[in-house]
Amino acid sequence: MDYRFQYGVVWQNLDALFQGAWLTFQLGTLSFAGGALIGLICAAIVAYGPFLIRFPVHVYVVLITNTPALIQIYFLYYGLPEFGIRLSSEACLLIGLILNAGAYLTLIMRAGFLSVRRTELEAGVVLGMSVLQQIRFIVVPHIAKSIYPALANFFIVILVMGTSIGSIIGVDELTGQAINLSSVNYRWLEYFTVVALMYVVLTFVASIGLAALGRWACRVRARIF
Amino acid sequence: MDRLVEQIPRFFTATNMMMLAEAAYMTLAMTIVGCLIGFGLAFVLVYLRQTPGLWALPLRIVCVTYVEFFRRIPFLVIVYLVLFFIQALTPDASLFTIAVIAICLYSVAYTADIIRGGLESVPHTQVEAARTMNMSRFRTLIMVVLPQAWPVIIPPAIAFAVSFIKDTALVSQIGVFELTFRGKELNNQGYSGVLVFGTIALCYFILSFPLTLLGQHLEKRLATPRGQRSARKIRRT
């Protein structure tokens, strides 16, 4: 193997990579937040809603969780223009990821909803709480505690796996920047090793932040490793 | 919209369908081979990680670092890294091999955690009992720990492999002839995006949905029988 690693070009373009990392972080956080909102609503519907609304939600979850995120985003990116809707690649990625995360988070949160004890809900009914109030004051504090580790894990997945899909449709996040830069001078291995390290650091920072947040807000001991 | 309807008879021809069937076979083959090898290697990794003693500390550190690194790097970046690394080593490696190696590297990291969780779910007293009976570490693993750990390991491992069918879509980027790549190709031939990617999504759904159901069924069947579970609870309290 006569390959010589030359990292010089990578250090020169490091700030472009940092910009990519920042965009990755923004996209990951936004799509997780959007997905969490959809997930919460859908999980509440699955747990308490009548059959007529429960069924479409169920179909949505099954359809999304059984097809690749890449195909969903391709569908938005290449399919929607045929109906006259043209979205930028960032918007496509973001909408695709939010829909995708929403389905997976519905599954995670449903498990949380089901783990709430019936007696607690009955106590809420006795106190005259409406369904929305029950969710706000009984269910959410409870599931925030019980599914926190699963949520933190999923955040890492969407931050890393999800956003890197953007590079395929031309979003300049971390992987996209690496592809752009390395196709100029073919130092693929150098760029991608550095980018891999940056992903590791980024997710570690995110994990530590999430663990601190979990300890402060929900008193969970989240594991970082 | 008219274009879409007009294209349907041209799209669903025997040649196109054969091509998609082959692509689906490729997707499935890649996932199964990669995840099976990954599962075997993950066992080795967990076994090495649990080696006791101070002399094995570097070994344990290497194993933990491997898992932590590869879980935190996107699969797409791993695919590119493997592609360029292997091509620097041996320029004529097939793309299928490269894809399988990338899937292996990634699935080892994920399944290692699943297996470790399974092995740790067995009460520690059992391992100590085996130690008292002078069983070696390997024998303890095979004869005491594994028979009890299987029900905990198998369902999430299958769930991981099934979810990986979808993640292999990213391998299309290096040009393996699998479903997503063929879909992109058909789209480039001028077929409507809604039609092509709808069909491809349907193919993935057909591959993944029955396997998901199978996984859920196994999970229910392998869960500890009721009597046993209550017995364990009583012992703990």
pTM for the model stands at: 0.86
Rounded Cα–Cα distance for residues B236 and B232 (Å) = 6
- Residue contact A66–B209, C-beta within 8 A: yes
pLDDT of residue A225: 54
With beta carbons under 8 A apart, name residues in chain A contacting B197.
71, 74-75, 78-79
Whole-number average pLDDT of chain A: 87
The residues, ordered by sequence, that sit 6+ positions from A129 with a Cβ below 8 Å of its Cβ are A137, A138
pLDDT classification of A221: cutoffs 50, 70, 90: low
Residue A100, pLDDT above cutoff 90: yes
Residue A189, pLDDT above cutoff 90: no
pLDDT of residue A21: 92
pLDDT of residue A223: 60
B2-236, superfamily in CATH? MetI-like (1.10.3720.10)
B69 — contact with chain A (CB < 8 Å)? yes
Q: What tokens appear for B208 in the block?
A: 């993944």
Residue A162: closest C-alpha in chain B: B74
With beta carbons under 8 A apart, name residues in chain B contacting A195.
77
pLDDT of residue B3: 73
Q: Higher pLDDT residue, A145 or B146?
A: B146
Would you list the domain boundaries of chain B?
2-236
With beta carbons under 8 A apart, name residues in chain B contacting A65.
212
B14 — contact with chain A (CB < 8 Å)? no
Q: In angstroms, what separates the C-alpha of B109 from chain A's closest C-alpha?
A: 13
A167 — contact with chain B (CB < 8 Å)? yes
A205 — contact with chain B (CB < 8 Å)? no
Which positions of chain B have pLDDT values less than 50? 226-227, 229-237
Other Cβ atoms less than 10 A from the Cβ of A107: the count is 16
The residues, ordered by sequence, that sit 6+ positions from B212 with a Cβ below 8 Å of its Cβ are A65, A66, B159, B162
Q: Higher pLDDT residue, A47 or A102?
A: A102
Q: Higher pLDDT residue, A223 or B69?
A: B69
B28 — contact with chain A (CB < 8 Å)? no
CA-to-CA separations, B169 to A49, A71, A136, B164, in angstroms, rounded = 35, 8, 39, 9
Residue A174: closest C-alpha in chain B: B77
- Residue contact A71–B197, C-beta within 8 A: yes
Residue A89, pLDDT above cutoff 70: yes
B160 — contact with chain A (CB < 8 Å)? no
pLDDT of residue B236: 45
A53-76 tens-digit pLDDT:
899 999 999 999 999 999 999 999
Of residues A124, A152, A136, A121, the one with CA closest to residue A40: A136
CB-CB contact of B23 with B181 (8 Å): yes
Please report how many Cα atoms fall inside a 13 Å half-sphere around the Cα of residue A67, on the Cβ side.
26
The residues, ordered by sequence, that sit 6+ positions from B137 with a Cβ below 8 Å of its Cβ are B52
Q: Higher pLDDT residue, A116 or A104?
A: A104
User: Which stretch of A130-144, A195-209, B14-28, B59-73 has the lowest confidence by average pLDDT?
Assistant: A130-144
Domains located in chain A, CATH noted:
8-217 (1.10.3720.10)
Q: In angstroms, what separates the C-alpha of B194 from chain A's closest C-alpha?
A: 4
Averaged over A115-129, what is the pLDDT? 86
Q: What tokens appear for A19 in the block?
A: 């910009």
Rounded Cα–Cα distance for residues A78 and A170 (Å) = 13
With beta carbons under 8 A apart, name residues in chain A contacting B70.
none
Residue A199: closest C-alpha in chain B: B73
Percent of chain A whose predicted confidence (pLDDT) is above 90: 36
A123 — contact with chain B (CB < 8 Å)? no
